[in-house]
Amino acid sequence: MKKFLKYLIVSILSIVGLLGIAIVLSVTVFKDALIELLTKSQQEEMKSYYISELPVEPEQFAEDFKSIHDQVIEECSLCKQKGYDMDSLYTTFSNRIGSEVQTKEDYGIMLNEYFAALKIGHAWPFFRGHAAQYHPTIAEDRIFISNPSEHLLHCGFCDKDEIIAINNVPIGQYIENKKRYTFASTEEYRLRKAQLGIFTSPTDTLITCSVRRDGEVLSLDLPLNCTMPIEESQAYHRIINDSVGYIYLESMMHTVVEDFKRAYEQVRHLPYLIVDNRYNSGGSSNNGRKIAEYLLCKKQKHCVSGNITPQPNAYTGKLFLLTSNKTISAAESFTLDLKESGLATLVGERTAGDTGCGPKVFTSKYGICFYIPTREAGVSPKGFPMEGTCIEPHHEVEQTVADFLDGKDTIIEYVLNELIG
Tell me the pLDDT tens digit for each residue of 252-295. Answer: 998 999 999 999 999 999 999 999 999 998 999 999 999 999 99
139 bridge partner residues? 142
What pLDDT does residue 231 have? 59
Domain assignments of the chain as residue spans, ordered by start: 235-358+378-420
Report the chain's mean pLDDT, rounded to a whole number.
89
Tell me the pLDDT tens digit for each residue of 99-120. Answer: 999 999 999 999 999 999 999 9
Residue 75, φ and ψ in degrees, nearest 5: -110, -25
Per-residue pLDDT at 9 exceeds 50:
no
More confident residue, 298 or 46: 298
Per-residue pLDDT at 97 exceeds 60:
yes
In three-state secondary structure terms, 397 is coil
CA 209 to chain centre: 23
What pLDDT does residue 88 have? 96
Instruction: Say if domain 235-358+378-420 classifies as CATH 3.40.250.10.
Output: no
Name the least confident of 28-37, 218-227, 300-309, 381-390.
28-37
Tell me the C-alpha distance between 54 and 49, whole Å.
6
Cα atoms in the Cβ-side hemisphere of radius 13 Å centred on 273: 26
Element (H, E) at 342: none
Q: Tell me the one-letter amino acid at 264.
A: Y
What pLDDT does residue 84 have? 87
Cα atoms in the Cβ-side hemisphere of radius 13 Å centred on 214: 3
For residue 272, give Cα distances in angstroms to 89, 163, 318.
50, 37, 5
Per-residue pLDDT at 14 exceeds 50:
no
Sign of CA dihedral 211, 175, 393, 331: negative
DSSP 385: B
More confident residue, 358 or 227: 358
Tell me the pLDDT tens digit for each residue of 327-377. Answer: 999 999 999 999 999 999 999 999 999 998 888 999 999 999 999 999 888
- What lies within 8 Å, CB to CB, of 163 at 6+ separation is 136, 143, 144, 145, 171, 198, 209, 210, 211
- What lies within 8 Å, CB to CB, of 246 at 6+ separation is 19, 237, 238, 239, 240, 267, 273, 274, 275, 276, 412
Average pLDDT for 377-382: 92
Per-residue pLDDT at 137 exceeds 60:
yes
Per-residue pLDDT at 12 exceeds 50:
no
pLDDT above 70: percentage of residues in the chain = 88
Give CA angle at 273 (270, 279), nearest 5°: 150
What is the full DSSP assignment across 174-235?
HHHHHHTT---SSHHHHHHHHHHTTTEESS-SEEEEEEEETTEEEEEEEESB---PPP---E
What pLDDT does residue 83 have? 85
What pLDDT does residue 229 have? 55
What pLDDT does residue 301 have? 96
Tell me the pLDDT tens digit for each residue of 386-402. Answer: 999 999 999 999 999 99
What pLDDT does residue 281 have? 87
What pLDDT does residue 37 have? 47
What pLDDT does residue 195 have? 97
The overall longest dimension of the chain from CA atoms, in Å, is 68
Q: Tell me the one-letter amino acid at 152.
A: L
Q: How would residue 203 be classed by pLDDT, with cut points 50, 70 and 90? A: very high
Tell me the C-alpha distance between 4 and 371, whole Å.
15
